Copies of this chain bind each other. A is one copy, B any other.
Amino acid sequence: MNSDYTQIIENAYKFVKPIKDHGKLATYIPELANVNPDKFGVHITKIDGNNFGIGDHLEKFSIQSIAKVLSLSLAVKFLGERIWTRIDVEPSGTKFDSLLLLETYKGIPRNPFINSGAIVICDILITHLENAREEFLEFVRDLSDIPDLNYSDDIADSEKATGYRNVALCNFIKSLDNIKNDPAEVLDFYFDMCSLEMNCEQVSRSFSFLANGGRKLSDGKRIITSSQAKRINALMLTCGFYDESGEFAFKVGLPGKSGVGGGIVALYPNNFTIAVWSPKLNPNGNSFKGMKLLETVTTHSEMSIF
């Protein structure tokens, strides 16, 4: 994807935009159901400094689970390999048995991107940081170069009021001894973390350190080591899309992460990061049009890591 990358993105956007959207708005977080379901935007940030966006790429959305990659990066940065005694790095296979697998594996979540794993990451950060909530926010403000980025209380409160399954997961892991702090405190941080809002341009910029060997694009600052970046990319490829991780690797062929807000970020190491947003989700909980767009882009550009 050289000089014609803007053309490829624009063509893919125009191709996917009119397709009938078979997805459905996430309703389990009431606030998310208030979003305009027709929003659709995409932004690419190349590591050579060029970038391009189209559609609603400058409108903020709730990044939700996309933030799990950032909290993992912070945990890896401060604690390194030690965190892998508390979570594993394997695909979970299926939504269906998330609780079953926790019991089988004695409270060790299968990977840091399913809810149980992200909750354990929150617990780790609370234990090792002075003020996890504030330090995580500072970390993302730095990555994104958005000094006034903040948690969305509306989104967080909405999820706190209805997130019974996450309360169940956290208490279940606590009963299996893999949560060290008070479950209520861990859950508060978890819901806050997922409530961050960014637009496509900001997401693609924030994630560019993972396509750039662990260094921030804007100032070259090292965030994590090159090896750590590769491993997080590998995790996104094998575990970034719930039950559809294999499908995404198969059809798109890039590491990525989705969120129930309808956002997806994907990246080609040493080349680019791309963020897409469209709120309606397919049955696996991933943005219907977001998946289509990324598939179209990599099919036409022949850009995949495989």
Which A residues are closer than 8 A to B by beta carbons?
88-94, 96-97, 99-101, 103-104, 110-111, 164-165, 167-172, 174-175, 183, 226-227, 229-231, 233-235, 237-239, 243-247, 249-251, 253, 255, 269, 299, 302, 304-306
Contacts and interface: CB of A to CB of B under 8 A. Distances in A.
A61 to B, nearest CB: 24
B169 A183 contact: no
A261 to B, nearest CB: 20
A174 to B, nearest CB: 4
A140 to B, nearest CB: 22
Contacts of A96: 103-104
Contacts of A88: 246
**Copies, count:** 4
Contact of A93 (B94, B169, B229, B304): B94
14 contacts: A89-B249, A90-B91, A92-B93, A164-B172, A167-B183, A168-B168, A230-B253, A230-B304, A231-B250, A231-B306, A233-B306, A235-B246, A237-B249, A238-B245
Q: Is the interface of A mostly helix, strand, loop or mixed?
A: helix
B234 A253 contact: yes
A137 B88 CA distance: 39
Nearest to A93: B93
Contacts of A167: 167-168, 171, 183
Contacts of A234: 246, 249-250, 253, 304, 306
A97 B93 CA distance: 10
B93 A103 contact: no
Contacts of A90: 91, 93-94, 243-247
A171 B174 CA distance: 14
Given A93-B101, A237-B249, 8 more contacts: A89-B247, A90-B244, A91-B91, A100-B100, A165-B172, A231-B253, A239-B246, A305-B305
A93 B246 CA distance: 11
Contacts of A94: 90, 93, 101, 104
